Amino acid sequence: MIAGLLASLARLVSGASVFFLSGPPDTRQRIYFANHTSHLDFVVLWSALPAPVREGTRPVAARDYWERGALRRYLSEKVFRAVLIGRGGTGSVAEARTTIERLVAEMGDRSSLIVFPEGTRGSGEEVAPFKSGLYHLCRQKPGVELLPVYLDNLNRILPKGEMLPVPMLSRVVFGRSMLLAPEETKRRFLERARDAVCALRDP
């Protein structure tokens, strides 16, 4: 019940209009990937999913933000069932590999993930080049469907550095599914995935 109320509140505050270019997704395992401009991003994307899909979808989020305070910690653990990842590490190959292995384990055979391949929040004007994590995750989960999503105007609803959202209109646009092609290079895949998100600005 809390999840349903929170999803309704998120849609109300964000004024989100939701568009599915290929119809609403079903409950099969997927990786949803989107542009990143606000701490509200995963909340609004998660809330835009049909309830049965939402139940099996886990956002990947910053540990330092979502463990700050009892309320955020409760929401991330008990409602969103978020996979919390630390920021500011060494950036080593071993550290990145450990993160990917954890995401694969958290997905298991049923859970879907919401990820933000830019790796950090942008201005909302441009989608930054994607980091390699999405590629390596797909290599470890071959055959799992990917669904690009474009989030519009959330940077103005909760600007960087602000604590309280400002009610305003936004859009959540779900694109068409894609897969990592056999033998596709990391560079080509990441460019294609980013292009799929950018194309949803004006679908």
Dihedral sign (CA 56, 134, 139, 20): positive
Q: With contact defined as beta carbons under 8 Å apart, do 36 and 121 qualify?
A: yes
Distance CA 103, CA 115 (A): 10
Dihedral sign (CA 8, 109, 192, 100): positive
At what angle are helices 93-107 and 133-140 packed, to 10 degrees? 50
Distance CA 40, CA 42 (A): 6
pLDDT exceeding 90 applies to what percent of the chain? 55
Neighbours of 171 (CB within 10 A): 20
What predicted TM-score, i.e. pTM, was given to this entire model?
Answer: 0.90
Does residue 118 surpass a pLDDT of 80? Answer: yes
pLDDT digits (tens, 9 = 90+) for 128-149: 999 999 999 999 998 999 999 9
Q: With contact defined as beta carbons under 8 Å apart, do 30 and 144 qualify?
A: yes
Full set of structural domains in the chain with CATH: 2-198 (3.40.1130.10)
pLDDT digits (tens, 9 = 90+) for 181-199: 999 999 999 999 999 999 9
pLDDT digits (tens, 9 = 90+) for 29-73: 999 999 988 877 888 899 999 999 999 999 998 888 888 889 889
Distance CA 116, CA 119 (A): 6
